Every structure is written in structure tokens, then in C-alpha cells.
């Protein structure tokens, strides 16, 4: 199987959150992805919401998807050097659980420097890999 890729630039506005989620779901369906589309949609929602919350101005951010037979990689590159933080779970907190979800659900995730900021990424193994270490 070859690698399939998609890249889209979005504005850091609240409307971009459902747009990104639906793009991921539509692409994974069209690609006949063996990965858990619900997990991918949830995690991309968290990454994009972080951009919306923390990147201001007329900037844009880039949503990137890459799927091979074995891995799905989704990343969000923005113009901010501010790194995401995995916070301790607090019952009373209304927000701040997004990166905890990414850490708990993704098979792998990380942050890397990008030209003008950072790229936050996660990877999911195919569903049939569940329960096995990749």
C-alpha cells in the first residue's frame, strides 16, 4: 500500500474545530482506513482546539494527515512556540484535558520544532493491532 497524504490550512477560529474533525472523518472513510476514525477525530479536535485557544491573530495553521498500511499520523503545525502541556486530571477543571486524551489514546505522540513554531503530532496503529505493542 502506498502512503496517502492530505494537507489543509485553516484559521485559528472556533469554526475550524468541527471542520478539521469532519475532514479527518471524511478522508479516513475515503481512504478506507483500518485505523479508529473516532479516536482520530477526537484527538484532532483536541489539537485544533488548542490552536484556537492559544494562537491569536490572522495566522493560519496546517492540518496534515499521512496514512500508510501500518500507521496514521495526524499533525497540526502552527506559528506558536508554546508547547502543549499534559496536565494532571482535575475533576473541577472545565478545560485542560485535551493533551491527557492525546497521551492516553494515541499510540505515539510528540512535538517538534517547525519553521515558525511547532508541530504537534500523534500516530495511531490500525485497529487490528490493539492489544499489541507496535
What is the band of 132 on the pLDDT scale with cuts at 50, 70, 90? very low
Q: What is the pLDDT of residues 64-110, one digit of tens each?
A: 999 987 899 999 999 888 887 766 665 565 555 678 889 999 999 99
In the DSSP assignment, the letter for residue 89 is P
Q: Looking at the 3D structure of the chain, how many domains does it have?
A: 1
Q: Report residue 30 as a C-alpha cell.
A: 475515503
Which residues span the domain enclosing 65? Answer: 4-129
Helix (H, G, I), strand (E, B) or coil at 55: coil
The strand pairing partners of 117, in sequence order, are 114
Domain membership of residue 71 (yes or no) is yes
CATH code assigned at 87: 3.30.565.10
pLDDT of residue 134: 44
Q: Are 98 and 46 in contact (CB under 8 A)?
A: yes
Q: What is the pLDDT of residues 25-71, one digit of tens each?
A: 999 999 999 999 999 999 999 999 999 988 767 789 999 999 987 89
Q: Report residue 72 as a C-alpha cell.
A: 496514521
Amino acid at each position: 500500500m502506498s502512503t496517502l497524504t492530505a494537507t489543509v490550512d485553516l484559521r485559528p477560529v472556533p469554526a475550524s474545530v468541527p471542520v478539521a474533525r469532519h475532514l479527518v472523518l471524511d478522508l479516513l472513510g475515503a481512504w478506507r482506513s483500518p485505523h479508529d476514525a473516532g479516536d482520530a477525530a477526537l484527538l484532532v479536535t483536541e489539537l485544533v482546539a488548542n490552536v484556537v485557544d492559544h494562537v491569536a491573530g490572522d495566522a493560519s495553521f496546517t492540518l496534515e494527515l499521512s496514512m500508510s498500511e501500518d500507521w496514521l499520523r495526524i499533525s497540526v503545525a502552527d506559528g506558536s512556540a508554546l508547547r502543549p502541556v499534559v496536565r494532571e486530571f482535575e475533576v473541577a477543571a472545565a478545560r485542560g484535558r485535551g493533551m491527557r486524551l492525546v497521551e492516553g489514546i494515541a499510540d505515539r505522540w510528540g512535538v517538534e520544532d517547525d519553521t515558525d513554531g511547532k508541530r504537534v503530532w500523534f500516530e495511531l496503529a490500525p485497529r487490528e493491532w490493539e492489544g499489541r505493542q507496535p
